[in-house]
Amino acid sequence: MANFPTTPLPDTPLNEEAAQTADVLISAHRDGSEQRRKVGDGRGRRFSLVWTYEISRAERDSIIAHYNGQNGMLTAFVWTHPETGENITVRYDGIPQDQQVAYDAYTMQVQFQEVAA
């Protein structure tokens, strides 16, 4: 697993969506009773990283190269949360979005989905 680049640091605080609860299959019976079975762990946390300050072309290219190296949204990798220092196994949850705002200056947004290790 390749680690996500540690620089540049994204804007803080990060936008973090809480994990969803486990997936449960509910089977109703004719007598009114129910049977419940866990069919999945639910979806992990989602993170949105934003760089609104200007990052250089080299920094932008390192993030895009990492995305391409993970085959887009296919392969999981380790990302270190910049605020907590926690190592989290994630995958990309969309294509990195960037915009050139000046010569050698970009803004960028990347989304991650936490996955089971």
Q: What is the pLDDT of residues 76-106, one digit of tens each?
A: 999 999 888 899 999 999 999 999 999 989 9
Peptide bond into 96 cis (omega under 30): no
Q: Is residue 106 part of a domain?
A: yes
User: What is the DSSP code (8-state) at residue 3?
Assistant: B
pTM value is 0.77
Residue environment code for 50-78, b if the CB has 16+ CB neighbours within 10 A, otherwise e: bbeebbeeebbebbeebbeebeeeeebbe
Residue 98 located in a structural domain: yes
21 Cβ contact list (under 8 Å, min separation 6): 42
Query: Cα–Cα distance between 106 and 91 in angstroms, integer?
Result: 23
Q: Flag whether 3 is in a domain.
A: no
Query: pLDDT digit string (tens) for 41-62?
Result: 666 889 999 998 889 999 999 9
Give the residue numbers spanning the domain of 58.
Answer: 15-114
Beta bridge partners of 37: 25
What is the percent of the chain where pLDDT is above 70?
91
Counted domains in the chain: 1
More confident residue, 58 or 26: 58
10 within some domain: no
Q: Is residue 6 part of a domain?
A: no
* CB half-sphere exposure, 47, CA atoms < 13 A: 22
